[in-house]
A and B are shown apart, each in its own frame.
Chain A
Amino acid sequence: MTKTIQPRRLKRIGETTKDGLTALWLLLPYGILFSLFIAVPVAMSIGLSFTHFNVVQTPKPAGFFNYITMLTQDDVFFRNILPNTIQFALLVGPGGYILSFLLAWILAQIRPLPRTVFALALYTPSMAGGVFIGFIWRTLFAGSQSGYINALLLQYNLIDKPIQFLQEPAYLMPIMIIVSLWSSMGIGFLAMLAGILNVNEEVYEAAYIDGLRNRFQEIIYITIPSLKPQMLFGAVMAIVGAFNNGAIGVALSGVNPTPQYAGSLIINHIEDYAFQRYEMGYAAALSVALLGIVWLFSKIAYKLFGEKD
């Protein structure tokens, strides 16, 4: 017995090291690029956030100065940027997410051919890049009478002079949210649609035998629980998408900072400090705050949909 077991164990150890070596070679290129453009920049952000740095001179240590400034001195940050970011992220992240789940569910209730057509119509806006999303909606909401929305409202006598939609602080944020929702039915939406279609029909049948009564109960007790993994993926994508879309306010209004900071999000604030004022230390502290906020949102998503094991 021992004779046969012994060599086998040896062989397995040998295979593991060989596997490890091949894996190392295969992982190396991705690892290097991942470190260079994702891990190192994140680490550098954290490092730089504790310094004064103007790009030209070497960074000078500053302790918690940047963070203290952010919390106590930066009025704009507290009065505009942070509330804007949270409002925008909540409506576009979870809001867009719930919307994409409902739409995916509705699409699953109709026949395959119309479903494909509708899915394509809903997905198409998410393929337009940031610059052109800005362009399309700038033209639609243009402040002169030839702007589409203004022309429509004028024609039906709902207003008597054109509204400067994109320069008016009261309108900018709602428009940003609408535009972002419009372009948010992306990869997370497709994931959920595929997930809903994949739920085994027998599960539903069994549940109805067990006393399930209507489609609402169906969603709560069957669809969402069987979809948890896709729901989580979709949630993370929605959150990241909402924060990645942060430049939309500047793209729409054409200026950074946006009029009275009405549409400025933390991303714009970072760019403002980094590439216009060259206060890289402070910009880095803002980046860390942003990564922290994204992490916090994702944490909540994992709490809601993650499988406990």
Chain B
Amino acid sequence: MANFQGSRINPRKFSASQIKFYVLLVPLAVVMILPVIFIISQAFKPMDELYRFPPTLLAERPTLRNFQNIWGIASATAIPLLRYLVNSIIITVVTVVLSVLLTASTAYALSKKKFRARPWLLRINQAALMFVPVAVAVPRYLVIVNTRMGNTYFAHILPLLAMPVGLFLVKQFVDQVPDAILEAARIDGAGEFSVMFRVVFPQIGPALATVGILCFQAVWNATEASNIYITDETMKSFAFYLGTLTVDQSPAMQGIGAAAALIMFAPNLIIFIAMQSRVMNTMSHSGIK
């Protein structure tokens, strides 16, 4: 096939035919990333540069003032910034760990156990992919009020644990684990839990990492619980508090808002870059059949 011309998918070498794609991609990527660069630079601008006209894209004399000011504003109110941060860290860690465990064990049961309701449950979960959480804010609020969960960490954590998209992705992955391995482990005397934790979970690492990231993004950025279910200021999340800093549009507050946005955004980005190869690996099994 020396003169095979088609399929230049996933090329290993650069060729002139790829230039046209770069011509399209470079400006597009720049447009996509500019607002992000803008917000980063805004966060490091000193006061006079925030007020300057015409505004500059990059900070000329970067400073950490805006970050210190966030700390300052918070100390001026009754609730220290640290309280919101600790709330969010507890909520995020607990939610991500529980959600990954829950998703993994549920996916294992749905993939490897034979029982009559299984096709139905799979169909229900597939339908739940279409679920739009914002549509049921009202009844969720009623559920939380009636179970007396308002003003507790439960109101932050529990609504985010069951994640149909995550379950769907992990189940596709467990399907790939050959039954023979599980059988062999059972013959060697492994109980249900060691089969799950020692045999299945290590094989589906990339999928679990992906669910962890998706869950992290959902819970770390979440403001819904603090907005609607929680009235006690000391129980609200970091994202919610930083969100309140972005309401004021004066140039002085813009720097602080940008710093807040950056603090929220950075963990997302770092975790995703660290895990990106695993995510891509999971995504190749994402098809709905």
Residues of chain A touching chain B, judged by Cβ–Cβ distance below 8 Å, are 16, 19-20, 22-24, 26-27, 29-30, 33-34, 36-38, 40-42, 44-45, 48, 103, 106-112, 114, 116, 118, 120-125, 127-132, 134-140, 142, 145-146, 148, 151-152, 154-155, 182, 185, 187, 190-191, 193-199, 201, 204-205, 207-208, 212, 215, 218, 227-230, 232-233, 236-237, 239-240, 243-244, 246-247, 254, 267, 270-271, 274-275, 280, 283-284, 287, 290-291, 294-295, 298, 306-307
Contacts and interface: CB of A to CB of B under 8 A. Distances in A.
A36 to B, nearest CB: 6
Given A27-B109, A194-B283, A280 B138 contact: yes
| Main SS at interface, chain B | helix
B131 A26 contact: no
Contact of A106 (B25, B214, B265): B25
B79 interface: no
B129 interface: yes
A136 B35 contact: yes
A109 B139 contact: no
Given A33-B162, A135-B246, A194-B284, A247 B134 contact: yes
B133 A244 contact: yes
Interface in B13-36: 13-14, 18, 21-22, 24-25, 28-29, 32-33, 35-36
A120 to B, nearest CB: 7
A108 B9 contact: yes
Closest 3 CB pairs of A and B: A229-B287, A129-B221, A204-B7
B84 interface: no
A111 B8 CA distance: 10
A136 B43 CA distance: 11
Contact of A195 (B109, B128, B192, B287): B287
Contact of A23 (B6, B9, B32, B113): B113
B20 to A, nearest CB: 9
B272 A123 contact: yes
A268 to B, nearest CB: 10
Contacts, number: 299
Given A109-B18, A124-B36, A204-B6, A26 B113 contact: yes
Nearest to A229: B287
Counting chain B CB atoms within 10 Å of each CB, which of A27, A138, A218, A280 scores highest?
A27
A20 B115 CA distance: 5
A190 to B, nearest CB: 5
B135 A291 contact: yes
Given A20-B116, A40-B143, A197 B284 contact: yes
A62 B272 CA distance: 49
Contact of A120 (B118, B246, B247, B276): B276
Counting chain B CB atoms within 10 Å of each CB, which of A129, A198, A212, A270 scores highest?
A129
Contacts of A136: 35-36, 38-39, 261
B134 A244 contact: yes
B152 to A, nearest CB: 15
B189 interface: no
Contact of B6 (A128, A218, A240): A218
Contacts of A185: 32
Interface of B: 1, 4-14, 18, 21-22, 24-25, 28-29, 32-33, 35-36, 38-39, 42, 51, 53-55, 102-103, 105-106, 108-110, 113-116, 118, 121, 128-140, 142-143, 147, 158-159, 161-162, 164-165, 167, 192, 214, 217, 220-223, 228, 239, 242-243, 246-247, 249, 251, 254, 257-258, 260-261, 264-265, 268-269, 272-273, 276, 279-281, 283-284, 286-289
A6 B164 CA distance: 41
B115 A187 contact: no
| Main SS at interface, chain A | helix
Contact of B11 (A110, A191, A194, A239): A110
A25 to B, nearest CB: 8
A149 to B, nearest CB: 10
Given A20-B115, A22-B109, A151-B55, A40 B139 contact: yes
A208 B272 contact: no
B22 A275 contact: no
Given A108-B10, A198-B284, A129 B162 contact: no
Given A194-B283, A271-B137, 10 more contacts: A23-B118, A34-B164, A36-B158, A37-B143, A111-B13, A132-B39, A146-B51, A198-B284, A229-B287, A229-B289
B254 to A, nearest CB: 6
Contact of A236 (B4, B18, B113, B129): B129
25 contacts: A20-B115, A24-B115, A29-B102, A30-B162, A30-B167, A33-B161, A34-B128, A38-B162, A110-B18, A122-B32, A125-B35, A129-B221, A132-B264, A135-B257, A135-B258, A136-B38, A139-B39, A139-B249, A139-B257, A146-B51, A194-B283, A195-B286, A218-B7, A228-B287, A274-B137
